[in-house]
Structure 1
Amino acid sequence: MPVTYWLEHAWLDPAVEPGVLLTADGGRITALRTGTPAPPPGAVALRGLTLPGLANAHSHAFHRALRGTAQRGGGTFWTWRETMYATASLLTPDSYFDLARAVYAEMALAGITCVGEFHYLHHQPDGTPYADPNAMGRALIAAAAEAGIRITLLDTAYLRGGLTERGHLPLDGAQRRFGDGTADQWYDRWSLLADAEDAEDANGAGHARIGAALHSVRAFADSDGYTAFAERTRHVPVHIHLSEQPAENDACLAVHGRTPARLLADADFWGPNTTAVHATHLTGEDIALLGGARSAVCMCPTTERDLADGIGPAPALQRAGSPLALGSDSHAVVDLLEEARAMELNERLRTRTRGHWTAAELLRAATADGHASLGRPDAGRLAPGALADFTTIALDSVRTAGPPPRLGAETAVFAATAADVRHTVVAGRQIVADGRHLRVPDVAGALAAAIAAVRG
């Protein structure tokens, strides 16, 4: 049944337009008309600035349980990882559903309409498969449906315990539940997820897509078959953690004589369906390889700064041809507007110059380009035929009041936060209204309960 929304102001890339009338039917935008100064009878009024739904292109839902705990004291990425493994060892399909449902509801409150879930927590703690070998992945898909957002499940091959200058290590401890034994066994289990992908329906192209991922060159070896993996997954979105740490590069050079990006390029891995996550420590050749293949790059600035990883060469990657996406990764915060702002401000600190991207370009990374990296090229824009997924931020909060609405894109990126999101619509249906989640009434309570259950 058609529903009409009156948007007080809307970002119609690249400009903000006042008084936009949007009609959604079958989960898609069927009509869009500007120049409507007041809401007509029967229209749902969304006051503020409406943007396309935000795409969180890189998430580890269970990391949300680390917020606060992981920030205590110092350490490095490698010491943080041990805390993360301890949390990973405690989850079951039921407790993961509860946690992910709350995390995805938090995302909806932040204006996120689609999440790319980088999922490698597959089996029981000792590595034994559940009766349903995809029980954990299906729990995530169900959690996204309950929270009202779309999900691309990036089911991850994680076969090795690490890479040192002497070679790969076996899975150990909490890692045992990540592994499938061999690449063929991963593929067999992954293939069983085909029935979890929604066909296009009255809800607007379904809420679940199945993608694939390699955790990293640390967790997958050339003997596991990079080329075969690429051939098997060429038809779906594929993500990989790439060069997140200098130690990864050093070990790869010692063992393979090549950087991770070159090792993967030699296996014909890179292409328009692939996304490199982080890509923090790249050579000039690495940048050219990714850009030349039109592979996307997902930057996660709030996690990268939280873990002291470094600042990735995002401008150079984009100039080389790589579209940029954004993710909240470890969920130190869940705020895609902050991720967009941080990408620009990080570059200002590094270069001591301003204006590396316009506000419109940063919003594009958080919307259209992020959705494309998740296999959703029909989302991330306000236009007829696109998925009817959008979010509205307040222009009258203590953070956003003052600037004229025509500068709404700049206000959204450089002043607003997730706390300014007032409405979120997915497939034409309101999921968040006036700052309240309509399906998970007490998101904070749900988060607290789910995290307490995991921590015991």
Structure 2
Amino acid sequence: MTDSLSPPAFHADRALLPQGWERDVRLTVVDGCIGEVHTGVAAQAGDQRVRILVPGVPNLHSHAFQRGMAGLTEIGGGDGDSFWSWRELMYRFLAKLVPDAVEAIAAQAYMEMLESGFTRVGEFHYLHHDADGQPYADRAEMSARIAAAAAQTGIGLTLLPVFYAHADFGGAAPNPAQRRLIHDVDGFAQLLDGARTALRPLPDAVLGIAPHSLRAVTGEELSALLPLNDGPVHIHIAEQLREVDACVAWSGLRPVRWLYENVAVDARWCLVHATHIDDDERARIVASRAVAGLCPVTEANLGDGLFPLQAFAREGGRFGVGSDSNVLIDAAEELRLLEYGQRLSLRGRNVIAPDAQRSSGRYLFDGAQQGGAQALGVAAGLQPGASADLLELDADHPAMIAREGDALLDSWVFAARNGALRSVWRRGRQCVADGRHLQRDVITARFAQALRSVLG
């Protein structure tokens, strides 16, 4: 993205630093990263002046192409509609996508992420092959389109190419609808090589891997995949009760239990959803320092269920949020629904923050910051060495008036809607001004053209 230059420094009346809220904060920017941080100082000539500054939010789980089908699966299904019937509709949409459309839809999704406060995305990317299931001449063609969308919008990218080989537990043969997703280990290694090349133009891209799920990868394949890359490892797990039951029928173990008994899970790992876990599995995730990747809007949309976040968080578990199916892209909404789901389940208020002295908005924001950054392989927060990914909250927004400290985050998460987020900078370069991405018109026009072609 080339629309704006990075100022030499930012000066904020109030800023949220790792140690808490500070006044008169000056952050210098060096090669897209935060250099020095000073508090209680005056602004200097040339500084970008802001009133309320907080770090950008990591989005640890996205399937960007699904933004193009948002709203198209909300037809009454009675007792028979579920994640599994939604998945069949998703496969039909996926079958129509060409590389240009994938890039255009991803750019729209990434633009909307930036406008809502997400500044880095973990793209759990499984659409790799042509419509007939054959690799493109460049095996990483679709990965390159994701990288191009990130470059156009300016969002930080952690690319997570997905290994998908089977239709169900025990190495079941894939079905025809999955042909665009399928790899063997050797082909996946070649895909990773191509993805590394595709990411080189992006200054701070991170490459990870994503064994799709225990349904889609055998234990032997999982062991072969892990040495191929030393970045983050993400996996869908225990999202649906049917998945848990099928895993028990196959192995005698629940999915998270099977994973921990067969793989050395550590802080590199992000367990996406992990919705249906028992007490032992919860304790294993906490002890391993892996991140639980929670996607409240999508999990609600698909009827997945609720992760036991109160107990997990109070035991020291690490979590982050993701927009997953991108049916609605809104960083504050993910945090709000994360808390509200627990309130409805536990029939109480302010149920995630561990004590009466902690603000719910601040606790959720900090958790998503730290867990999301860990899951995406980057440093968190406004500190030296971290990417200068900055959000300016609008001090004049009705939800922000006469607020101080953590009440600002509480009000953004629980009481604000459009307009509370004024500006966004990524690596110190402005990409959102007055709530609007600087290339919105161009990106949305291309998105519209792509959807008319795909759905027409």
TM-score, normalised by the number of residues in structure 1: 0.91
User: Cα deviation per residue 1:120-140 (whole Å; 9 max; x = unaligned)?
Assistant: 000012210000011001110
2:70 paired with 1:67: yes
What is the alpha-carbon distance in structure 1 between the residues aligned to residue 450 and residue 118 of structure 2?
20
2:225 paired with 1:229: yes
SS in structure 2 at match of 1:24 = strand
**Aligned counterpart, 2:282:** 287
Pairs aligned (count): 441
* Structure-2 change in CA distance of 1:455 and 1:365 (3 Å): farther
- Give the conservation status (yes or no) of the 8 Å contact 2:267–2:289: yes
**Aligned counterpart, 2:245:** 250
Q: 1:26 aligns with which of 31, 35, 53?
A: 31
**Aligned counterpart, 2:3:** none
* Structure-2 change in CA distance of 1:344 and 1:403 (3 Å): same
User: Cα deviation per residue 1:90-145 (whole Å; 9 max; x = unaligned)?
Assistant: 11111111111121111111121100000000001221000001100111011101
**Aligned counterpart, 2:210:** 213
What is the alpha-carbon distance in structure 1 between the residues aligned to residue 121 and residue 309 of structure 2?
21
- Give the conservation status (yes or no) of the 8 Å contact 1:16–1:408: no
What is the alpha-carbon distance in structure 2 between the residues aligned to residue 95 and residue 274 of structure 1?
31
SS in structure 1 at match of 2:259 = helix
2:48 paired with 1:44: yes
Compare 278-287 and 361-370 and name the one that shifted more: 361-370
Cα distance, 1:33 vs structure 2: 2.4
**Aligned counterpart, 1:425:** 425
What is the alpha-carbon distance in structure 1 between the residues aligned to residue 443 and residue 100 of structure 2?
18
* Structure-2 change in CA distance of 1:133 and 1:432 (3 Å): same
Cα distance, 1:195 vs structure 2: 2.6
* Structure-2 change in CA distance of 1:442 and 1:400 (3 Å): farther
2:182 paired with 1:179: yes
* Structure-2 change in CA distance of 1:418 and 1:270 (3 Å): farther
User: Cα deviation per residue 1:145-180 (whole Å; 9 max; x = unaligned)?
Assistant: 1110110110000111234xxx55322233100001
- Give the conservation status (yes or no) of the 8 Å contact 1:51–1:382: yes
* Aligned-residue CA RMSD (Å): 2.1
Structure 2 counterpart of 1:190, one-letter code: L
SS in structure 1 at match of 2:236 = strand
SS in structure 1 at match of 2:179 = helix
Cα distance, 1:320 vs structure 2: 4.2
* Structure-2 change in CA distance of 1:68 and 1:419 (3 Å): farther
What is the alpha-carbon distance in structure 2 between the residues aligned to residue 189 and residue 417 of structure 1?
41
- Give the conservation status (yes or no) of the 8 Å contact 2:113–2:331: no
What is the alpha-carbon distance in structure 1 between the residues aligned to residue 447 and residue 429 of structure 2?
24
- Give the conservation status (yes or no) of the 8 Å contact 1:122–1:178: yes
- Give the conservation status (yes or no) of the 8 Å contact 1:336–1:418: no
Structure 2 counterpart of 1:103, one-letter code: A
What is the alpha-carbon distance in structure 1 between the residues aligned to residue 441 and residue 14 of structure 2?
27
**Aligned counterpart, 1:276:** 271
User: Cα deviation per residue 1:38-89 (whole Å; 9 max; x = unaligned)?
Assistant: x543222224x32111111000001111211122323211111111111111
Q: 2:14 aligns with which of 2, 9, 12?
A: 9
* Structure-2 change in CA distance of 1:436 and 1:44 (3 Å): same
**Unpaired stretches in structure 1, ≥5 consecutive residues:** none
User: Cα deviation per residue 1:7-27 (whole Å; 9 max; x = unaligned)?
Assistant: 232122453333322221211
Cα distance, 1:189 vs structure 2: 2.3
What is the alpha-carbon distance in structure 2 between the residues aligned to residue 324 and residue 314 of structure 1?
9
* Structure-2 change in CA distance of 1:322 and 1:230 (3 Å): farther
* Structure-2 change in CA distance of 1:452 and 1:273 (3 Å): same
**Aligned counterpart, 1:413:** 413
Cα distance, 1:394 vs structure 2: 1.6
Cα distance, 1:4 vs structure 2: 1.8
2:266 paired with 1:260: no
Alignment of 1:302-317 (within 5 A): 302-317=297-312
Cα distance, 1:277 vs structure 2: 0.4
User: Cα deviation per residue 1:220-244 (whole Å; 9 max; x = unaligned)?
Assistant: 123x4322323444x2101001100
What is the alpha-carbon distance in structure 1 between the residues aligned to residue 57 and residue 416 of structure 2?
14
* Structure-2 change in CA distance of 1:25 and 1:402 (3 Å): same
Alignment of 1:70-85 (within 5 A): 70-74=73-77, 75-85=81-91
**Aligned counterpart, 2:125:** 119
What is the alpha-carbon distance in structure 1 between the residues aligned to residue 331 and residue 296 of structure 2?
10
* Structure-2 change in CA distance of 1:435 and 1:443 (3 Å): farther
What is the alpha-carbon distance in structure 1 between the residues aligned to residue 73 and residue 18 of structure 2?
38
Q: 1:96 aligns with which of 98, 102, 109?
A: 102
User: Cα deviation per residue 1:237-274 (whole Å; 9 max; x = unaligned)?
Assistant: 01001100011111111111111112222222411100
What is the alpha-carbon distance in structure 2 between the residues aligned to residue 452 and residue 367 of structure 1?
37
User: Cα deviation per residue 1:406-440 (whole Å; 9 max; x = unaligned)?
Assistant: 62122222223464221111111111122232234
- Give the conservation status (yes or no) of the 8 Å contact 1:54–1:111: yes
**Aligned counterpart, 2:193:** 191
Compare 74-83 and 242-251 and name the one that shifted more: 74-83
**Aligned counterpart, 2:394:** 394
- Give the conservation status (yes or no) of the 8 Å contact 1:226–1:269: no
* Structure-2 change in CA distance of 1:349 and 1:14 (3 Å): farther
**Aligned counterpart, 2:165:** 159
User: Cα deviation per residue 1:323-378 (whole Å; 9 max; x = unaligned)?
Assistant: 101001111211111111211111111111222223222112332321111011x2
* Structure-2 change in CA distance of 1:372 and 1:16 (3 Å): same
Structure 1 counterpart of 2:149, one-letter code: A
Q: 1:318 aligns with which of 313, 322, 333?
A: 313
What is the alpha-carbon distance in structure 2 between the residues aligned to residue 293 and residue 418 of structure 1?
38
Structure 2 counterpart of 1:120, one-letter code: Y
Structure 1 counterpart of 2:204, one-letter code: H
